[in-house]
């Protein structure tokens, strides 16, 4: 594992290389390679450093110097922590040793995730970030017993949205190299890149990612798979002919044209199996409309297309992985703005299925655009229908960023989503779809439904879900309220601060499980 394409001058030791060799400084920089190696926590009574396989073999190649230096460098390395050692190996001038916690850490019932995998993601992330600070051009990463998680940790940890800054804060992202199982590594890279795409779309300002730009970006990304993918960017006239009165009532408050994005991935062309249909809320900016939001923090509403971003990124990732499954991805895309034609509190609109909706609060716009998208989704007779939406502030109040709230009419789909989220570490938590909440949205003075619950603040995430349920007849449907997990401060250690792109990997994992018939 320790021979990589950087050994141009391996006879001489690294630092004095500048003086001894004739390589221009710039070229030399291109050769800087960092190495991330894992170490477990010591078990009781054992003296030997519990290195991973790769770390142990590296230690042997430097005659035990890594173990020696590590033990004199301080107390045993804690889980998720990192220490850098210089000059141990001529090919790797800097080596980051990262703490993996206890060996054999597995499923944790109370935490609802695979601790071992989360530990690998967090530890590798810490190592990668510190080595990036040293401006290494290449990074070789120990699989730490789980190449996919190591690749996810590495890929996710290095992402930063700084394309619009003339002076970038962090050094360039090093090229990643996985050692060990190439397939697992590659899978992890694709999972991580999928989530990073969602992060980029969410973080980007709303004047850069308009509905049109969003749809064009997804179309471009899917062009590589044109043999298995079709993309439709439906214009306003199509929405009108589809009688999507609820969606149109939101989009008409803005000058920006709406787009209904529809992508089909045919990964299993010979199957007669119904598709998995994914629907994502695509509000590229949510000002609240006439029920205007307060100014403070409103900028975060550029990420109100997180549902569309995670869903579309999941379809792209499924295509990149070549998953043998058919998926339809749908994203109603528009802005929620207080224009002259915007919804006014008390207005009544008609959704695609004929139901009338009294719009008492124009800031509850996500459920309006999803109502029509969910109606349309049924035309594909989905085997499972999953929608993702940054739908309610109440979801954030309830669970914060710990888990996505899942409202579902199907125990089978719940199990699948739960299993998938345990594997990815995204976590989901089941929420109720009681009639109790349905009553609060079906008692409207002027229409069949009201877009806000009767007791406005109480159970806000649940009344929103009950509202969506009025547009669902599918046997297996799940609504994922991702408002709480939309952004990351420092809760997820392998993601930098900013929009999180969660739960893209869980949607991919779900598709993979359904494809494998698990």
Q: What is the DSSP string of 465-518?
A: HHHHHTT---SSEEEEE-STTSEESSSSTTS-SEE--TTHHHHHHHHHHHHTT-
| Residue numbers 269-308 binding Mg ion by CB under 5 A | 286
Query: Using CB under 6 A as the criterion, what x/- string covers residues 460-499 for binding ligand BES?
Result: x----------------------x--x-------------
Window of 22-30, 31-39, 129-137, 390-398 that interacts with ligand BES by CB under 6 A: 390-398
| Residue 76 neighbours by CB distance under 10 Å | 14
Rounded distance between C-alpha atoms, residue 516 and residue 449, angstroms: 40
DSSP alpha helices (H): ranges in 354-501?
A: 366-377, 393-399, 411-424, 435-442, 460-469
Q: Which is nearer to Mg ion, 274 or 292 (CB)?
A: 292
Nearest-approach distance from CB 28 to Zn ion, in angstroms: 50
Q: Of residues 65, 81, 293, 419, which has the active-site annotation? A: 293
Query: Using CB under 5 A as the criterion, what x/- string covers residues 294-323 for binding Zn ion?
Result: ----------x-------------------
- For the beta sheet containing 82-89, the strands, ordered from the edge strand earlier in sequence to the opposite edge, are 82-89, 92-99, 33-39, 138-141, 175-178
Q: Which is nearer to ligand BES, 483 or 508 (CB)?
A: 483
Nearest-approach distance from CB 389 to Zn ion, in angstroms: 8
Window of 54-62, 386-394, 408-416, 471-479 that interacts with ligand BES by CB under 6 A: 386-394
Contacts of 244 (CB under 8 A, 6+ apart): 260, 332, 351, 352, 372, 376
Q: Report the residue number whose CB is nearest to ligand BES.
A: 393
Question: Which contacts qualify for 374-381: CB closer than 8 Å, 24 or more apart?
Answer: 374/279, 374/468, 374/471, 374/472, 375/351, 375/471, 376/242, 376/244, 376/260, 376/330, 376/352, 377/277, 377/279, 377/328, 377/330, 377/474, 378/472, 378/473, 378/474, 380/274, 380/275, 380/277, 380/328, 381/274
Q: Which of 286, 335, 372, 509 lies at the binding interface for Zn ion (CB under 5 A)?
A: 286
335 binds ligand BES, rule: CB under 6 A? no
Q: Is 281 a catalytic residue?
A: no
Q: Which of 364, 466, 485, 495 lies at the binding interface for ligand BES (CB under 6 A)?
A: 364
Q: Of residues 79, 352, 355, 367, which has the active-site annotation? A: 367
Give the one entry of ligand BES, Zn ion, Mg ion, none that residue 393 binds, where binding means its C-beta sits below a cut-off of 5 to 8 angstroms depending on kind: ligand BES
- The DSSP output letter for 105 is -
Q: Which is nearer to Mg ion, 118 or 286 (CB)?
A: 286
366 binds Zn ion, rule: CB under 5 A? yes
DSSP alpha helices (H): ranges in 242-326?
A: 245-251, 306-321
Q: Which is nearer to ligand BES, 192 or 503 (CB)?
A: 503
Q: Classify burial at 15, counting beta carbons within 10 Å of its beta carbon; exposed 0-12, middle 13-18, buried 19 or more.
A: exposed
DSSP alpha helices (H): ranges in 159-265?
A: 182-203, 211-222, 236-241, 245-251
Q: Which of 361, 409, 410, 444 lies at the binding interface for ligand BES (CB under 6 A)?
A: 361
Q: Is 293 a catalytic residue?
A: yes
360 binds Mg ion, rule: CB under 5 A? no
Give the one entry of Zn ion, ligand BES, Mg ion, none that residue 361 binds, where binding means its C-beta sits below a cut-off of 5 to 8 angstroms depending on kind: ligand BES
Query: Using CB under 6 A as the criterion, what x/- string covers residues 272-291 for binding ligand BES?
Result: --------------x-----
Give the one entry of Zn ion, ligand BES, Mg ion, none that residue 452 binds, where binding means its C-beta sits below a cut-off of 5 to 8 angstroms depending on kind: ligand BES
Q: Are 364 and 453 in contact (CB under 8 A)?
A: no
Beta-bridge partner residues of 143 = none
Residue 457 in tokens = 């603040």
| Residue numbers 426-455 binding ligand BES by CB under 6 A | 452
Q: Which residues bind ligand BES (CB under 6 A)?
A: 286, 304, 361, 363-366, 390-394, 396, 452, 460, 483, 486
By annotation, the residues acting in catalysis are 293, 367
Q: Which residues bind Mg ion (CB under 5 A)?
A: 286, 363, 365
Q: Which residues bind Zn ion (CB under 5 A)?
A: 283, 286, 304, 366
């Amino acid at each position: 594992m320790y021979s990589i394409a950087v050994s141009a001058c391996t006879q001489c030791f690294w630092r004095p290389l500048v003086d001894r060799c004739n390589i221009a400084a710039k070229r030399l920089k291109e050769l800087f390679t960092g190495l991330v190696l894992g170490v477990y926590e010591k078990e009781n009574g054992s003296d030997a450093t519990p290195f991973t396989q790769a770390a142990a073999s590296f230690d042997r190649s430097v005659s035990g110097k890594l173990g020696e230096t590590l033990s004199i460098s301080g107390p045993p390395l804690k889980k998720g922590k990192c220490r850098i050692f210089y000059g141990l190996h001529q090919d790797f001038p800097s080596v980051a040793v990262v703490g993996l916690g206890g060996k054999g850490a597995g499923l944790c019932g109370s935490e609802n995730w695979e601790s071992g995998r989360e530990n690998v993601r967090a530890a590798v992330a810490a190592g990668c970030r510190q080595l990036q600070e040293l401006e290494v051009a290449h990074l070789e990463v120990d699989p730490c017993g789980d190449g996919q998680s190591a690749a996810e940790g590495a890929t996710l940890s290095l992402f930063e949205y700084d394309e619009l800054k003339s002076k970038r804060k962090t050094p360039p992202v090093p090229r990643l190299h996985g050692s060990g199982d190439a397939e697992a590594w590659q899978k992890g890279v694709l999972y991580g890149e999928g989530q990073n795409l969602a992060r980029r779309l969410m973080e980007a300002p709303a004047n850069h990612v308009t509905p049109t730009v969003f749809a064009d970006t997804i179309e471009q990304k899917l062009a590589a798979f044109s043999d298995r993918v079709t993309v439709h960017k439906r214009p306003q006239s199509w929405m009108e002919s589809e009688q999507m009165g609820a969606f149109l009532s939101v989009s008409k408050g803005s000058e920006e044209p709406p787009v209904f994005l529809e992508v089909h991935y045919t990964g299993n062309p010979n199957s007669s199996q119904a598709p998995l249909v994914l629907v994502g809320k695509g509000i590229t900016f949510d000002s609240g409309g006439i029920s205007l939001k307060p100014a403070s923090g409103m900028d975060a509403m550029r990420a109100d297309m997180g549902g569309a971003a995670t869903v579309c990124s999941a379809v792209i990732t499924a295509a990149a992985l070549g998953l043998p499954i058919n998926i339809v991805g749908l994203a109603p895309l528009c802005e929620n703005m207080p224009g002259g034609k915007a919804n006014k509190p008390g207005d009544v609109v008609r959704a695609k299925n004929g139901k009338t909706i009294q719009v008492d609060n124009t800031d509850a716009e996500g459920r309006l655009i999803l109502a029509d998208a969910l109606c349309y989704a049924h035309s594909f007779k989905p085997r499972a229908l999953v929608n993702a939406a940054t739908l309610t502030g109440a979801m954030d109040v309830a669970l914060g960023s710990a888990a996505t709230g899942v409202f579902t009419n199907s125990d089978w789909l719940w199990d699948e989503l739960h299993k998938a989220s345990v594997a990815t570490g995204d976590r989901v938590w089941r929420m109720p779809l009681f009639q109790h909440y349905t009553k609060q949205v079906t008692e409207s003075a002027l229409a069949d439904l009201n877009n806000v619950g009767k007791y406005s603040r109480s159970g806000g995430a649940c009344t929103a879900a009950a509202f969506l349920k009025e547009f669902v007849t599918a046997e297996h449907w799940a609504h994922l309220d991702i408002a709480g997990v939309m952004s990351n401060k420092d809760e997820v250690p392998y993601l930098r601060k900013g929009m999180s792109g969660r739960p893209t990997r869980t949607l991919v994992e779900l598709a993979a499980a359904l494809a494998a018939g698990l």
